[in-house]
Amino acid sequence: MSSLTKLSSNKTFGGHVIKYEHASTELDCTMKFNVFLPKEADQSPVPAIYFLSGLTCTEDNFIQKSGAMAEAAKHGLALIAPDTSPRGVSIEGDSDSWDFGTGAGFYLDATDPKWAKHYRMYSYVSKELPELIKQLPIDATRVSIMGHSMGGHGALSIFLKNSAQYKSASAFSPIANPMNCPWGQKAFSNYLGDNKDEWEQYDTVELLKSFQGQHNHVLVDVGTSDNFLQGELKIDTLQQTVDDLGRADQWKIRYQEGYDHSYFFISTFVADHIQHHASYLK
Amino acid sequence: MSSLTKLSSNKTFGGHVIKYEHASTELDCTMKFNVFLPKEADQSPVPAIYFLSGLTCTEDNFIQKSGAMAEAAKHGLALIAPDTSPRGVSIEGDSDSWDFGTGAGFYLDATDPKWAKHYRMYSYVSKELPELIKQLPIDATRVSIMGHSMGGHGALSIFLKNSAQYKSASAFSPIANPMNCPWGQKAFSNYLGDNKDEWEQYDTVELLKSFQGQHNHVLVDVGTSDNFLQGELKIDTLQQTVDDLGRADQWKIRYQEGYDHSYFFISTFVADHIQHHASYLK
């Protein structure tokens, strides 16, 4: 296992936000992530929540803009905020658009030969990071996962594929059915090729249909003034699938009147999400 | 009075963050500022707190990173976040360093002919903005002022010079005695020339010595791990002055163990500051 290099540490809400750098074996490049460790971590390992960010973000956006540490500190929970794609690798076309390539790893393992060496964010988040954080005072048996937009897709799909690994999941404005929206189709066709069977392995709506896990503790918030609500997020399709499967008691999907896709929306409801996870992590 | 052009509006914590642009008569340029209006402002004018930002900041840093809207919404208070200098003016040397010129207006009215036309942030914040916000649902008779670093200097000095205008003041890591620190000496000598009598008109410690106002409801927080604590902020000098004047009951100065100069510090204690102001604004 590679070692973690501490780049910075800032005290906040009685704990610390720490930025780490490390060599990633899955992504074959140097990566950074942020961790918030509450003061309780000085005494013994604490439960943690992963937060997966959206298109164009780095490991910093959530930590700087969400206000989540205020609530995480109240519950003695750690927060883990990874980056959104491999960094410092040079692949033709990886910086041509804001919704594909750098900053847009889509939390999958690419199979297209051009991308397959580095673009393995699914395995990075679900396998490599959980091993790495064993070096930190985090209780690896009590973790949950959440995210925003592309990261909401990541959180829900990774949760459905590894439900024994996470106590609960939540998402803000997730790309819920990427197979059927422009962002997802662009990413999946380039990273995975044309085989729709492979696409289904990273699509929340499709994964939910075949889900056989024991539990489903999921909270989803989306704003009714989100410009991407109809074209990209497909929350109605997710709600219909939840209803058809009789899982409405396990999937709480809330439409928040007048809110948009920004951190002004996330910060308003992030305390609700932390409380949701805390109830399953305690 | 110039009109306000609304550039954006985002719903947050039940209210809205609105970005305005306007022609500034004091600064002779186009300026932007952000306002958080809580939902109560839909019914009737609400009290407000100005937040003055530090070196290199714009009108966005506080709004995006402080988490202050969570607490402001609880108390039904507006927040007003101006920029830190004139923008879009071209003066030789205004972009040569991060601690002088653009992004570093120091909340004074320059007298040096080179800077005097545009660098009038003191009058902009204390006179022009209070007139402009009469166009918004804000109760102009109930306002307070706070700030960070250079903006902490701005908040405390503007408060002491206009104590009838503000119900209370507070500051994070203020430059408390700019006449006697490198940041302040660089700014004051360039903007004001060599006359120390003029410098004293913008120095919190000096203004406090001659303060004749009726009230002094001030809260100051500073981190003990702030890299600028000894060299630039001079909080010990402020504390000594407060003690010498017998004003320790009116000036609450707190040293926060282990915290630094960043927004990770501000966000931790911003709720305390909002509550401080709320107690005088209600």
pLDDT in tens, A162-205: 999 999 999 999 999 999 999 999 999 999 999 999 999 999 99
Regarding the domain delimited by A5-281, which CATH topology (the fold level of the hierarchy) does it fall under? Rossmann fold (3.40.50)
In tens, the pLDDT along A197-241 reads 999 999 999 999 999 887 789 999 999 999 999 999 999 999 999
Tell me if A105 sits within 8 A of A85, measured CB to CB.
Answer: yes
The Cα A157–Cα A155 span in angstroms is 6
Give the residue carrying structure tokens 């911003």.
B270
User: For position A1, what pLDDT does the model report?
Assistant: 63
The mean pLDDT of A258-282, rounded to a whole number, is 97
Alpha carbons B188 and B182: distance in angstroms, whole number: 10
For residue B271, give the chain A residue with the closest CA: A70
**Quick one: A1 exposed, middle or buried, by C-beta within 10 A (0-12, 13-18, 19+)?**
exposed
**pTM of the predicted model as reported, rounded to 2 decimal places:** 0.96
- B chain contacts of residue A259, beta-carbon cutoff 8 Å: 11-12
Across the interface, of B70, B225, B258, the residue whose CB is closest to A67 is B70
State the catalytic residues of B.
149, 226, 261
Confidence of residue B214 (pLDDT cuts 50, 70, 90): confident
Report how far residue B16's alpha carbon sits from residue B37's, in angstroms, rounded to the nearest whole number.
5
**B264 vs chain A: nearest CA distance in angstroms?**
5
- Please give, one letter per residue, the 3-state secondary structure of A201-215: CCCHHHHHHCCCCCC
Contact B265 A11 (CB under 8 A): yes
Q: What is the pLDDT of residues B152-191, one digit of tens each?
A: 999 999 999 999 999 999 999 999 999 999 999 999 999 9
Tell if the CB–CB gap between A69 and B260 is shorter than 8 Å.
Answer: no
Report whether pLDDT(A272) > 90.
yes
> Do the Cβ atoms of A12 and B70 come within 8 Å?
no
Q: pLDDT band for B1, please (50, 70, 90 cuts).
A: low
The catalytically annotated residue of A226, A273, A276, A277 is: A226
CB-nearest to A264 from B11, B260, B268 is B11
> What are the DSSP calls for chain B, one per residue?
-PPPEEEEEEEETTEEEEEEEEEETTTTEEEEEEEEE-GGGGTS-EEEEEEE--TT--SSHHHHHS-HHHHHHHHT-EEEEE-SS--S---TTTTSBTTBBTTB-TTSB--STTTTTT-BHHHIIIIIHHHHGGGSSEEEEEEEEEEETHHHHHHHHHHHHSTTT-S-EEEES----GGGSHHHHHHHHHHH-S-HHHHHTT-HHHHHHT---S---EEEEEETT-TTIIIII-HHHHHHHHHHTT-TTTEEEEEETT--SSHHHHHHHHHHHHHHHHHHH-
Helix (H, G, I), strand (E, B) or coil at A163: coil
B64·A65 Cβ contact <8 A: yes
Sign of CA dihedral A197, A203, A205, A209: positive
Exposure string over B221-240, b if 16+ CB within 10 A, otherwise e: bbbeebebbeebbbbeebbe
pLDDT category of residue B219 using cuts at 50, 70 and 90: very high
Q: Which of A24, A53, A149, A163 is catalytic?
A: A149
Measure the CA angle with vertex A255, ends A254 and A260; round to 5°: 125
Measured between CB atoms, does A263 come within 8 Å of chain B?
yes
Give me the mean pLDDT over the B50-62 stretch.
98
Residues 6+ apart with CB under 8 A from A183: A55, A99, A150, A175, A232
Q: Is A137 exposed, middle or buried (0-12, 13-18, 19+ CB in 10 A)?
A: middle
d(CA A178, CA A170): 17
Show the tokens assigned to A115.
Answer: 């991308």
What's the complex ipTM? Answer: 0.95
* Candidates A12, A259, A262; nearest CB to B264: A12
* Chain B residues near residue A57 by CB distance under 8 angstroms: none
> Is B17 an interface residue toward A (CB < 8 Å)?
yes
Average pLDDT over residues B14-20: 98
pLDDT of residue B215: 77
Provide the pLDDT for residue A213. 81
A88: region left, alpha or beta (phi > 0 left; psi from -120 to 50 alpha):
left
Please list every residue in chain A whose beta carbon sits closer than 8 Å to the beta carbon of residue B11: 223, 225, 258-260, 264-265, 268
Each residue of B107-164: pLDDT tens digit? 999 999 999 999 999 999 999 999 999 999 999 999 999 999 999 999 999 999 999 9
